[in-house]
Amino acid sequence: GAVVSQHPSRVICKSGTSVKIECRSLDFQATTMFWYRQFPKQSLMLMATSNEGSKATYEQGVEKDKFLINHASLTLSTLTVTSAHPEDSSFYICSARETPGTGVLGYGYTFGSGTRLTVV
């Protein structure tokens, strides 16, 4: 089946540093990838939609200069949390939408396993 690899699974960083999270589709092409954030005991919230070769679309209230998204290829999207602060500590997860005709899902969605970010 389709697999989305998200890396790293856990990261601890110092306040003020930047952290990059990768989301990679392993056996299919993903024109569109989505980035979500989850606070403890809350639902997943969409942060932005990433389209290959174009600028990401951010949800209201999400700072695009703080959460940089790059979708440079059909199999890779990255989320960079810049100048991280403790309030950015959260669980980040991506999902990828298979480009029709390129994989096994038949225009399906697959979720990465998530990244737990702790900013100290």
Partner 1 sequence: KNEVEQSPQNLTAQEGEFITINCSYSVGISALHWLQQHPGGGIVSLFMLSSGKKKHGRLIATINIQEKHSSLHITASHPRDSAVYICAVRRIGNQFYFGTGTSLTVIP
Distance (Å, whole) CA 103 – CA 98: 7
Residue type, 9: S
Nearest approach, Cβ of 59 to partner 1 (angstroms)? 10
Give φ, ψ of 86 to 5 degrees.
Answer: -55, -30
Closer to partner 1 at the Cβ: 103 or 112? 112
Closer to partner 1 at the Cβ: 80 or 109? 109
Nearest approach, Cβ of 73 to partner 1 (angstroms)? 20
Nearest approach, Cβ of 72 to partner 1 (angstroms)? 21
Closer to partner 1 at the Cβ: 44 or 74? 44
Residue 103: which of 22, 20, 31 has the closest Cα? 31
Residues that bind partner 1 in the complex, under the rule CB under 8 A: 9, 32, 34, 36, 38, 42-46, 91, 93, 95, 97, 105, 108-114, 116
Residues whose CB falls within 8 Å of the CB of residue 42, separated by 6 or more in sequence, listed in order: none
Distance (Å, whole) CA 97 – CA 91: 20
Closer to partner 1 at the Cβ: 61 or 65? 61
